[in-house]
Amino acid sequence: MTDTPTQLFIGGAWVDAADGATMPVDDPATGEIIAHVADAGPKDARLAEEAAVRAQEEWARTAPRARSEILRRAYEIILDRTDELAHLMTSEMGKPLAEARGEVAYAAEFFRWFSEEAVRIDGGGGILPDGRNRMLLSRRPVGPCLLITPWNFPLAMGTRKIGPAIAAGCTMILKPAPQTPLSSLALTAILKEAGLPDGVLNVVTTSRAGEVCEPLLRGGRIRKLSFTGSTAVGRLLLAQSAEAVVRTSMELGGNAPFIVFEDADLDKAVDGAMLAKMRNMGEACTAANRFFVHHSVAEEFGRRLAERMGALVIGPGTRDGVDVGPLIDRTGRAKVEELVADAVERGARVLVGGRTPEGPGCFYPPTVLADVDAGSRLMDTEIFGPVAAILTFDHEDEVIRRANDTPWGLVGYVFTEGLDRALRVSERLEVGMVGLNTGLVSNPAAPFGGVKQSGLGREGGRVGIDEFLEYQYLAVPVG
């Protein structure tokens, strides 16, 4: 967008960082710098915190319908600007324009969903069992929140947190990832245009995440942390949140198993694999990381998947007809290269891809590896790239045990035509979400989240707003 803001947003005003610092944002397809944005430090964080704390009381008293209508207006503006937002996202993050447009729609949908939830915050109550007392229950906003988002879905990870926070009546500070601040700043401008009062949303873009966030978490005035990112950083933030007993929601990493049984419809399984693996170039927490395929169909599944993956067009996301954009940066690509090299050293066969192309940009080709050794590093590391690693299995119990043999538990995918098996296996997988004969689970109306070290709490769905609300119980004697 030609007029995308590049400053911090504090108390309803666009401002420079207190020390004047800026940081570059580059295009991963070319390596060229496309903008400089304000680089906040601890002083800016304090100002943002003051603005959020100051605005909290009045915002909590705002009529739910008014909060709902701000979200609804923002939803409509986002959709009207789909093309501009998609171009902006592609330029800072790399995903192909068609996927960026899809993310804009997905991101907007969280605002529509939570505009509908804002007016359905219920309480409860009744006569207590002793007959002498009654209780009145109300639900109140938890208070000022810190929202920390990753770079892989620059708009949707923001709206998935901002939407319920606004609906619940919380004020907030958003800290987007430094690779993709522009989408968040454009979103902020839209919320201002939609009538969000000053101080409700404050945005600090920064390259100094630790210095900016730690004092906020330990300070005692931020009452809620909603974080999406890696398990390692989530663990650190949980420790920091413990001091002031900050309530937390954690959407962390995954290591999704993708299981194809011998009775699966292989057309469906390959379609599902393309979605579960290649959405966002594999840079998704929901990405299938370990393909367990029954030995009787593994050769055929691998052949068909390699054919589909090999036909994808790689290039800058802004170019027509491109299916696979660059990875986010050179570090991300180097990690993928190392994981593939390790698997190959341990005996994996490269069915397609596996070779980094020459030239500028952080491109990596769609890759399928067969006969992957279970001890390969990519079995217990999020690949975060377009690499499908196939292992074989013989029995149902065995594959369930191997699928669950990981500290993560975000999502699993199961492909079988047998109803009993589908339900039995899904119920035994230690994950928060299952794609049954489908490679896509994300939907704003469904509760998204994981178990084990994939996170705490859920985003979206009917329960998404609960993360931003507290109960208050009033004890009232029956007169």
**Catalytic residue numbers, as ranges:** 251, 285
Q: Is 315 left (phi over 0), alpha (psi -120 to 50) or beta?
A: left
Rounded to the nearest 5 degrees, what angle is found at the Cα of 338, between the Cα atoms of 96 and 364? Answer: 20
- Say how far apart CA 169 and CA 285 lie, in whole Å: 29
Binding mask 267-286 for ligand NAP (x = CB under 6 A): ------------------x-
SS3 category, 296:
coil
Q: Given CA atoms 139, 140, 141, 143 in this order, what sign does their dihedral have?
A: negative
**Angle separating helix axes 64-80 and 97-117, nearest 10 degrees:** 160
Minimum CB distance to ligand NAP, residue 197 (Å): 25
- Return the residue of 40, 410, 429, 465 that touches ligand NAP, per CB under 6 A: 410
Q: Let me know: does 386 contact 367? Beta carbons within 8 Å.
A: yes
φ, ψ for residue 321 (rounded to 5)?
Answer: 85, 0
- Return the residue of 68, 90, 115, 152 that touches ligand NAP, per CB under 6 A: 152
Binding of ligand NAP at residue 360 (CB under 6 A)?
no
* Residue 237 vs 389, nearer CB to ligand NAP: 237
Binding of ligand NAP at residue 23 (CB under 6 A)?
no
Minimum CB distance to ligand NAP, residue 446 (Å): 12
- Return the residue of 59, 151, 258, 301 that touches ligand NAP, per CB under 6 A: 151
* Residue 156 vs 343, nearer CB to ligand NAP: 156
Which strand (E) or helix (H) includes residue 411?
Answer: strand 411-415
Binding of ligand NAP at residue 181 (CB under 6 A)?
no
Number of residues lying near ligand NAP (CB under 6 A):
26
Q: Greatest CA span in the chain, whole angstroms? A: 81
Residues in region 366-385 near ligand NAP by CB under 6 A: 382
- Return the residue of 37, 85, 147, 213 that touches ligand NAP, per CB under 6 A: 213
**Interface segment toward ligand NAP; rule CB under 6 A; list 5-13, 100-108, 209-217, 394-402:** 209-217
Binding mask 111-150 for ligand NAP (x = CB under 6 A): -------------------------------------xxx
Binding mask 32-61 for ligand NAP (x = CB under 6 A): ------------------------------
SS3 category, 377:
helix
Q: Let me know: does 44 contact 8? Beta carbons within 8 Å.
A: yes
Minimum CB distance to ligand NAP, residue 325 (Å): 16
Exposure string for 327-347, b = 16+ CB within 10 A, e = fewer: bbeeebbebbeebbebbeeee
Minimum CB distance to ligand NAP, residue 323 (Å): 21
Tokens representing residue 39 in the block: 């680089």
Q: Cite the DSSP H helix spans in 153-265.
A: 156-168, 181-193, 209-219, 231-243
Torsion angle of C-alpha atoms 288, 406, 414, 401, degrees rounded to 10: 150
Binding of ligand NAP at residue 99 (CB under 6 A)?
no
For the chain, the distance separating the N- and C-terminal CA atoms, rounded to the nearest angstrom, is 62
Binding of ligand NAP at residue 174 (CB under 6 A)?
no
Binding of ligand NAP at residue 178 (CB under 6 A)?
yes
For ligand NAP, the binding residues (CB under 6 A) are 148-152, 157, 175, 177-178, 209-210, 213, 228-230, 233, 236-237, 251-254, 285, 382, 410, 455
